[in-house]
Chains A and B, each alone.
Chain A
């Protein structure tokens, strides 16, 4: 049966209307080769590798990065970043296929166990159009996170959660990064979200950037006594652009008083 000729705009419109229906999109993908790129745009828009098995499955299914649908991914979430090796990031490596990702989320499944050290080198400069980076790593030198952020020239939003300050590189005084310096630094004009131990090392490095920071939204959560100064500096550094400030403050605690209150004392 011949496929009726449809103007490309009409075809795009039809596929656009089906964006919320993966099953329909998968069926459309089988209609014609002409329909494949249009449907893949939605089918592969959000890719999440929640574990190593899923990641290996992807590599097995799409061994050739040049024909891989990774090109269509706008959001990439990798929970098993330790499985992504440096070899994957070489020219022709599978992860380089995700070159149009706008939102990247890198994490690690657990802080426990004996997982090998994580390296984020594989994700450096992954996508030149990346605008949002979310790093959720429980044990990682902050330099790695910062180097990764600097490798995306159009990066606007940065979220770093649960960095372990005990693994801070050096004395935390802003040691120069070891990675190749990017030709242009991101402007950091979107949102910044930092929690706890991530605030100190990341803030320090952000504040040392020659162009300064221009975040419009700040969400900061900290609990250590030494952090407020840097946090204050960060807030003031963004003063001219700041539109939204979200502060969570857990004061420094040296002890926990446990107050025993007998229920009956509250009865009147």
Chain B
């Protein structure tokens, strides 16, 4: 529930990139992979999940997964706003990624690295791993 303010509002302009393409890498043969870094240009996270799903038990050297959110994110202060901002479909993508990262933690003890500045988004979008303290905040 929200309450309208009676004073004049200053509007915020928030640009959203409309995602059209999709991407997928098959890393199943890259068994020497030790580090994977994903930098998002938009809030869509499906491509990260798709790539990480190609990681197999043969990837014994994989130790680091880093996820960097888009550089410009609107300031948000509640979970509801995060969900509303990213949209239901994107939110679902993040929950898929959350489940996958949880599996990585359980099977390989990999703690994803995320930027401290985006902590609020991460806590909302990756509730299982972030809520469980399984992420490392980096500057």
A interface residues with partner B (beta carbon < 8 Å): 219, 221, 223, 225, 228, 231-232, 235-236, 238-268
Q: Which of A235, A238, A256, A263 contacts B16 (CB 8 A)?
A: A256
Q: At the interface, yes or no: B44 with Cβ under 8 Å from chain A?
A: yes
As a 0/1 sequence over residues 55 to 96 of chain B, the CB contacts with chain A under 8 angstroms (1 = contact) are 000000100000000000010111001000000000000000
Interface size on B, residues (CB 8 A): 46
Stretch at the interface among B1-9, B109-117, B119-127: B1-9
Docked-complex contact B2 and A267, CB < 8 angstroms: yes
Question: Across the two chains, which residue of chain B brings its CB closest to A216?
Answer: B32
- A232–B20 contact, CB under 8 A? no
B17 in complex: contacting residue of A236, A251, A260, CB < 8 Å: A251
Taking CB atoms, residues of chain A closer than 8 Å to B26 are: 232, 235-236
Please measure, in the bound complex, the distance between the C-alpha atom of A135 and the C-alpha atom of B77, giving whole angstroms. 42
B39 touches A235 (CB 8 A): no
Binding site for A on B (CB under 8 A): 1-5, 9-27, 29-30, 32-42, 44, 47, 51, 61, 74, 76-78, 81
* Contact present for B24 and A232 (CB under 8 Å): yes
Chain B, residue nearest A234 (CB): B25
**How far, in Å, is A262 (CB) from chain B's closest CB?**
4
CA distance A150 to B118 in the complex (A): 41
B38–chain A nearest beta-carbon distance, Å:
6
A245 to B55, CA, bound (A): 13
Cβ of B13 and Cβ of A258 under 8 Å apart? yes
Q: How far is the CA of A145 from the CA of B20 in the complex (A)?
A: 31
Question: Which chain B residues lie closer than 8 Å to A254 at the CB level?
Answer: 18, 20
Given contacts A235-B30, A236-B29, A263-B10, contact A253 B18 (CB under 8 A): yes
* A232 contacts B23, C-beta separation under 8 Å: yes
30 A–B contacts from the bound complex (CB under 8 Å): A219-B37, A223-B41, A228-B23, A232-B23, A232-B25, A235-B27, A239-B27, A243-B32, A243-B34, A244-B36, A245-B36, A248-B41, A249-B39, A250-B42, A251-B20, A251-B21, A252-B20, A253-B17, A253-B18, A254-B20, A256-B15, A258-B15, A259-B15, A260-B11, A261-B14, A262-B11, A264-B2, A264-B4, A265-B2, A268-B3
Contact residues in A for B36 (Cβ distance below 8 Å): 244-247
- Using A240-B29, A243-B33, A244-B35 as known contacts, say yes or no to A228 and B21 having CB atoms under 8 A apart: yes
**A219 contact set on B, CB distance < 8 A:** 37
A238 to B42, CA, bound (A): 27
- Say whether B32 contacts A242, CB under 8 Å: yes
Given contacts A240-B30, A261-B11, 12 further A-B contacts (CB under 8 A): A231-B25, A238-B30, A243-B34, A244-B34, A247-B25, A247-B36, A250-B42, A253-B17, A253-B19, A254-B20, A259-B13, A259-B15
